[in-house]
Amino acid sequence: MSTNSLVDKTATYLDERVAAGKVVKGFARKTFPDHWSFMLGEICLYTFVILVISGTFLTLWYVPSMTLVTYEGPYAPLVGSTISDAYNSTLAISFEIRGGLLMRQIHHWSALLFVAAILAHMARVFVTGAFRKPREFNWVLGATLAVLGLAAGFTGYSLPDDLLSGNGLRIIQGVILSIPVVGTYIQFFLFGGQFPGESIIPRLFISHVMIVPALLIAVIGAHLALVIVHKHTQYPGPGRKNTNVIGYPLYPVYVAKAGGFFFIVFGVVTLISAFVTINPIWNYGAYDPSPISAGTQPDWYIGFVDGALRLTPGAGLEWSLFGYTLAMNVFLPALVIPGLMVTFLFAYPFLEAWVTGDKREHHLLDRPRNAPARTSIGVAALTFYVVLHFAAGADVIATHFELSFNDIIWALRILVIIGPAIAFFVTKRTCLALQRRDRDLALHGVESGRVVRTEDGEYFEVHNELNPYERWTLVQHEVYTPVELAEGSKKSLGQRARAWATRFYFEDRIEPVTPAELEEQHAVHGDGDTPAVGASSGSRAGVGSGQA
């Protein structure tokens, strides 16, 4: 029997029983738009695949036990030391298993890239408005994926049981203890007794290789399924509407592209892992609760929690109430602030839908400049995150630049408050300025470099009119207006709040060019040559109610 005949019979068998032909045919014809920013989501998926492959390799040799043994491996400085089985097996993977160190580094670097790609992908979705109806729940799944990525990173980071990861566990224990009333009990059950106990490594291992990956696979599967159910978003352009998708079919175009891009990502991660050392646990030694390494830093994605802890004043935020100690100087920065950040992340699509009152489906993306309030909120949130991240390395900054640690902390305390406000203001004015520039381009075209003198002796520079395809991108967006409450009517708290929110979002805006304005401009300059903005002829583009 030939290979083709076997394939035909197998395909027929599956098609008759599970309708595989219809599913494959429909899926293969699925159209995807082509833009580089869509690859950020692909990087998330590909790095997760790399994590599964490399993690499976490491699981074969890793021993999740805190039983103490004497090290007798090839790393001479530790020979004769009393270490845990977990640390011993990690050293064995690094020095005794062929390719083990490379695989450890591939796993660690791909984990960092996985979280980075998730956040970059979410930032793209946020500033382009891709979370709007009907994709609100897909945004929630993406935010859940980000939280699970942090959980996977933390549980894996602690498994080697070296001094660095042990100090991280010690910080987590302190955070748990700060939870009012129940913190002590949670810590006791999590660690199986007093810190560090003998149960935490096996429990983290189960979470890292079974529970969290299972949840990640389920969320990724649901996320991709909703991408298929809701047709793919696309950037605005000629011929692109909410009712169509312009792009290439999944098969054969995107199958070939995706396969090639996966190997590019795998190759880059492997190259970095081969030449850039990360987490050299043999330098840190086994975990011992007594010493603390100077200048140690958590993985970048969890650094904002450490930074919040460092910026919070210790004095005045620790109280005693009914026999309980309330360590608000730990509870607020380590649990409340991250909790508020995650809550805002989950709630934003529904918040913006409430502000705009828009119930329509959106499949065309916004240009970030055309949603200045949203873009500014995103940049302000990123600024807040980055300042907290720098605070986590305040001691390293102080030692490397020979600065006062206390001065750095105070400067960052001020910056974490005023920095987001400054970032919001600058970003919003920049977006409005770019909108004004787009409006001028749509009305007057681009500079030609040709200066013309009129019969009256006036001079102006001729602008070449944009073609309709270029102009479409500049004028196609919608502009929302603030809600105006009727005078004298009784307003509820919700109505007042929404009216304030719409003013916050939409009071400053640049109106897009209307067809009437274009016709008027063409009537004045029927020859197709347009004078520059502010020319002596008096022709000038109008603006909306906002001023950039």
Helices (H), 393-466: 394-401, 405-444
- DSSP H or E run through 451: strand 446-453
Average pLDDT on 278-303 reads 83
User: Could you identify the residue written with the tokens 């400053």?
Assistant: 508
Q: According to the model, what pLDDT value does residue 134 have?
A: 93
User: pLDDT digit string (tens) for 172-210?
Assistant: 898 999 898 888 899 989 888 888 888 899 999 999 999
Q: According to the model, what pLDDT value does residue 538 have?
A: 33
What is the DSSP secondary-structure string of 112-164?
HHHHHHHHHHHHHHHHHTTTSTT-HHHHHHHHHHHHHHHHHHHHHHTTT-BHH
Closest CA to 93 of 58, 54, 69, 65: 58
Listed in sequence order, the residues at least 6 apart from 453 whose beta carbon sits closer than 8 Å to its beta carbon are 459
Q: Residue 96 CB: number of other CB atoms within 10 A?
A: 14
Residue 227: is its pLDDT beyond 50? Answer: yes
Q: Among 8-17, 72-81, 193-202, 270-279, where is mean pLDDT lowest?
A: 8-17
Q: According to the model, what pLDDT value does residue 202 have?
A: 93
Q: Cα separations (Å) of 13 from 3, 18, 336, 456? A: 15, 9, 56, 84
State the distance between the two ends of the chain, measured CA to CA, in whole angstroms: 74
- Mean pLDDT of the residues in the chain: 86
> Residue 74 — very low, low, confident or very high, per pLDDT cuts 50/70/90?
very high
Q: According to the model, what pLDDT value does residue 193 have?
A: 83
CA max distance for the chain: 97
Average pLDDT on 107-120 reads 95
Residue 65 to residue 45: CA distance in whole angstroms: 31
User: pLDDT digit string (tens) for 117-171?
Assistant: 999 999 999 999 999 999 999 999 999 999 999 999 999 988 999 988 888 888 8
Listed in sequence order, the residues at least 6 apart from 320 whose beta carbon sits closer than 8 Å to its beta carbon are 326
3-class SS at 381? helix
Closest CA to 23 of 274, 250, 334: 250
Q: Cα separations (Å) of 331 from 334, 352, 394? A: 5, 30, 21
> Residue 536 — very low, low, confident or very high, per pLDDT cuts 50/70/90?
very low
Beta bridge partners of 311: none
Q: Among 19-23, 75-79, 242-246, where is mean pLDDT lowest?
A: 19-23
User: Could you identify the residue written with the tokens 């006062």?
Assistant: 404
User: pLDDT digit string (tens) for 22-40?
Assistant: 666 666 677 888 888 989 9
Residue 434 to residue 467: CA distance in whole angstroms: 19
Higher local confidence (pLDDT), 180 or 52: 52
